[in-house]
Amino acid sequence: GENVEQHPSTLSVQEGDSAVIKCTYSDSASNYFPWYKQELGKGPQLIIDIRSNVGEKKDQRIAVTLNKTAKHFSLHITETQPEDSAVYFCAASNYGQNFVFGPGTRLSVLP
Amino acid sequence: DSGVTQTPKHLITATGQRVTLRCSPRSGDLSVYWYQQSLDQGLQFLIQYYNGEERAKGNILERFSAQQFPDLHSELNLSSLELGDSALYFCASSVDGEDTEAFFGQGTRLTVV
């Protein structure tokens, strides 16, 4: 089955700097890759996603890149703000079945 | 607010007991997913339903079962509870369960004592 690895497990950045979180997946049939942000005591919130026919997608300060050949995808957050502090999860799925999540990255943005 | 409603928010029960967690998907969503998140653990996929039928199964214990009803709400039944079942249980829904965004509820925190 699918296996998703995520690095780093923790990340601290200064406010205004960029943050990058990387994920790799194992199943070449996976074609949908969402990113979720989870704040304390809340459910995961979808922040951006990318499908296998696209190499890059951007939404304001957040971007995701996908390299299907290497089976890895990354989340980029620019101009980080304290409210970006949370746990971020990447996931991979094959046509919406059985989303497999990475172990998560705890991002801390220091003022 | 994702539009996915889970009840109850908190549940405390004793070992050996049985509980039922409820999920109402977003309006128009046909697919429901259940996940377990233990302390310091990632999200473990349990099971997916689409329009009342089971579509995919993950690491769901035999003591656990789920179903999706004709009105599309779903219930996750956990029986013979053990201390290790203490976790956050999340429900997510998506429009068609294929290549579309899944939106999560706020979760049910289950504590087994």
pLDDT at A106: 96
User: Does residue A95 register a pLDDT over 80?
Assistant: no
pLDDT at A52: 87
B100·A101 Cβ contact <8 A: no
* Under 8 Å between Cβ of A96 and A34: no
* Under 8 Å between Cβ of A1 and A99: no
Higher pLDDT, A79 or A98: A79
Interface of B with A (CB under 8 A): 2, 4, 31, 33, 35, 41-43, 45, 48, 55-56, 58, 90, 92, 94, 96-107
Give percent of chain B above pLDDT 70.
96
**Terminal alpha carbon distance of chain B:** 31
Encode pLDDT of B42-89 as tens digits.
889 899 999 999 998 888 999 999 999 999 999 999 999 999 999 999
Q: What are the tokens at B9?
A: 């928010």
β-pairing verdict for A105-110 and A86-94? antiparallel
pLDDT at B100: 74
Distance of alpha carbon A14 from alpha carbon A109, whole angstroms: 6
Higher pLDDT, A54 or B7: B7
Q: Which residues of A touch B2 (CB under 8 A)?
A: 43, 45
CA distance B111 to chain A (A): 15
